Amino acid sequence: MPETEKIAEVFEELTGSKISKNFLDHRKIFLWGPVTDESSKDLVGKLLYLEMKDPGKKITFYINSPGGVVTSGMTVFDTIKMISSPVHTVCMGMAASMGSVLLAAGTKGERSIWPNGKVMIHQPSIGGQIVAPATDLKIHAEEILKTKTKLNQILADACGHPISKLEEDTDRDYYMDAEEAIKYGIVDKLATKIDFN
């Protein structure tokens, strides 16, 4: 059995995911939907698989996501930053919230957006109903503020803005069309064709 087939077999056993062989053969991965533990597990598995298979070779990461769980997204973000393969991120549709952070995580100069793509940045929020003593609520509030600062710094670094601009812009939902996203610096260029190289 060829080495790549063995790697694919081990990957499927470890993650329980089916590899979309045609896309993975072309080093293309997708986030289509919310950022969850399940989607991040799939993405991290594919990123590590591609890195192991051919370190340093380009990976294209297509994103159409409303965002989701910050901790799940940060797992994908850290993986992108730690592998040697350059990751070309592409916004197709919408990259919102945590999806926008993953879009910005791509290799500078290689982050693109489709002509009708949209990007939305904002501050993180706590979902659901929290039932906890007052002291625990204070702990949760402090943690979300730390997360807000961390995400603003990530976006500031990725976009080339001072953190004060991100603090202002993420105070409420901040939408950008393709041209605005390029000007803002969260992406670098407009995608004009689908690249299968």
Q: Is residue 38 part of a domain?
A: yes
So what's the pLDDT on residue 133?
A: 83
- 14 occurs within a structural domain: yes
Q: Count how many domains the chain has.
A: 1
* Domain of residue 179, residue span: 3-123+171-190
Task: Output the six-digit token pair for 181.
Answer: 């996203």
Tokens 């939902």 belong to which residue?
Answer: 173
Cβ pair 83, 44 in contact under 8 A: no
**pLDDT given for residue 7 in this prediction:** 65
Q: Which of 40, 85, 88, 122 is labelled catalytic? A: 122
Distance CA 115, CA 192 (A): 7
pLDDT (tens, 9 = 90+) of the chain, 197 residues, equals 556 666 666 666 655 555 567 788 889 999 999 999 999 999 999 999 999 999 999 999 999 999 999 999 999 999 999 999 999 999 999 999 999 999 999 999 999 999 999 999 999 987 666 777 888 888 888 999 999 999 999 999 999 999 999 999 999 999 999 999 999 999 999 999 887 66
Residue 157 lies in a domain: no
* pLDDT score at 131: 75
Residue 26 falls within a domain, yes or no? yes
Residue 134 located in a structural domain = no
Q: Render pLDDT for 56-109 as a digit per residue (tens, 0 to 9).
A: 999 999 999 999 999 999 999 999 999 999 999 999 999 999 999 999 999 999
Confidence (pLDDT) at 174 = 98
How many Å apart are CA 81 and CA 170, to the nearest integer?
23
Residue 162 lies in a domain: no
Residue 23's pLDDT is 84
Which residue among 39, 65, 72, 97 is the active-site one? Answer: 97
Please report, for the domain that includes residue 110, its CATH number. Answer: 3.90.226.10
CA distance 169 to 175: 10
Is-catalytic flag, 88? no
39 is annotated as an active-site residue? no
Per-residue exposure over 147-179, b if at least 16 CB sit within 10 Å of its own CB, e if not: bbeebbebbbebbebeeeebeebbeeebebebe
Indicate whether 156 belongs to any domain: no
